[in-house]
Amino acid sequence: MYDIIIVGAGPAGLTAAIYARRAQKSVLVLEAKSYGGQIINTLDIENYPVEEHISGFDFATKLYKQTKALGAEIVFEKVVDINDLGNTKEVVTTKNKYSCKAVIIATGSEDRKLGLSNEDELVGKGISYCATCDGAFYKGKTVAVVGGGNTALEDALYLSDIASKVYLIHRRDEFRAEETTVEQLKKKENVEFIYNSTVTKLNASERLESIEVTNKDGSVRTIEVNGLFVAVGRIPENQNFAKLIELDNAGYVKAGEDCKTTCKGIFTAGDNRIKEVRQLVTATGDGAVAATNAVKYINNL
């Protein structure tokens, strides 16, 4: 029986573990993939207080080591269910069942796909969801980036220094991304903006060879590319908990700044809850709040 089980070893989950351990609670962190969450794919973090520059990998590794040093157990198993047994919760993974007094769900989010028929089979053969992971494979080649948020624009900026040509394809003519990033990208001579358009077909034999891009006016253009970087947002990974806690229509956990879900003893932290600003600093902030409230809850049982 653990005091607190934390689902997810990203910045939110690991920060929650630090706060819970410092409050002398026993902590198990369960993670389906690798520690660090999505920040591990960020090349350079410049907006986290104290560190002027740090890579996502270094940040995540430092956080992981700090959490372990404080005595949290971290086990790599995928959580598939949580059962509410009143004062006890049962956390079910693909391999084991664990019991605890409180759970913090910090599962973050996964890449949204375009939904094209051969998209999955072309991952690693021209399709990528992570420019900083795969960009180096496209040195001197032609690539396209889809999306209009910060990720897409930053990816395009990053790729413009590696690839010979970058197409930025966005379904509208206005961006969600910060204006400064948009302006930076507009100054790049090897970047071509394609507005009001979506990728409607992936043409490939062994690898991706070209993409079909359809404009809102119905016109269709085929563009030869070696790589397509998809950056069309993320989907919260809460599907396994929908029977236990309330989610909004987009699948985010209904929880406010106190990180309390609609189920007593179940808390949430990070990108998978409804919030305005999804940043590293707000994820770690959530971790602290969720753990503090989980500790209070346990102490009052």
Under rule CB under 6 A, residue 53 binds ligand NAP: no
Under rule CB under 6 A, residue 233 binds ligand NAP: yes
What amino acid is encoded at 162 in this protein? Answer: I
Under rule CB under 6 A, residue 148 binds ligand NAP: yes
Give the CA distances from residue 205 to residues 27, 126, 230, in Å, rounded to whole numbers and listed in that order: 49, 11, 20
Using CB under 6 A as the binding rule, the residues of this chain from 171 to 190 that contact ligand NAP are 171-172, 176
Question: Interface with ligand NAP by CB under 6 A: which range of 22-30, 72-80, 226-234, 285-293?
Answer: 226-234
Under rule CB under 6 A, residue 149 binds ligand NAP: yes
Q: Is 133 a catalytic residue?
A: yes
Annotated catalytic residue within 58, 84, 111, 130 = 130
Nearest to 165 by CA among 141, 139, 134, 195: 141
Under rule CB under 6 A, residue 216 binds ligand NAP: no
Q: Is 259 a catalytic residue?
A: no
Residue reference for tokens 């069942």: 97
Under rule CB under 6 A, residue 152 binds ligand NAP: yes
Taking the CA atoms of the chain, what radius of gyration do you get in angstroms? 21
Candidate list 198, 203, 214, 240; residue touching ligand NAP; CB under 6 A: 198
Torsion of CA 12, 17, 18, 19, to 10 degrees: 90
Would you tell me how many other CB atoms lie within 10 Å of the CB of residue 149?
Answer: 18
Would you tell me how many other CB atoms lie within 10 Å of the CB of residue 155?
Answer: 26
Closest to ligand NAP by CB, 31 or 271: 271
- The 79-108 contact track toward ligand NAP, x by CB under 6 A, reads ------------------------------
| Sign of CA pseudo-dihedral 145, 131, 236, 261 | negative
Classify 125 as helix, strand or coil. Answer: coil
Closest to ligand NAP by CB, 80 or 133: 133
Under rule CB under 6 A, residue 234 binds ligand NAP: yes
Measured distance CA(8)–CA(18) in Å, rounded: 13
Question: Interface with ligand NAP by CB under 6 A: which range of 50-58, 100-108, 146-154, 281-289?
Answer: 146-154
Classify 155 as helix, strand or coil. Answer: helix
Cβ atoms 249, 89 nearer than 8 A: no
Nearest to 17 by CA among 102, 95, 83: 102
- The 105-144 contact track toward ligand NAP, x by CB under 6 A, reads -------x-x------------------------------
Closest distance between ligand NAP and the C-beta of residue 175, in Å? 7
Cβ atoms 116, 201 nearer than 8 A: yes
Q: Is 100 a catalytic residue?
A: no
Instruction: Give the relative orientation of helices 179-186 and 150-160 as an angle to the nearest 10 degrees.
Output: 30
Question: Interface with ligand NAP by CB under 6 A: which range of 148-156, 207-215, 258-266, 287-295?
Answer: 148-156
Under rule CB under 6 A, residue 151 binds ligand NAP: yes
Classify 191 as helix, strand or coil. Answer: strand
Q: Which residues are catalytic?
A: 130, 133-134
- Chain residues that interact with ligand NAP, rule: CB under 6 A: 47, 112, 114, 146-152, 154, 171-172, 176, 198, 231-234, 278-279
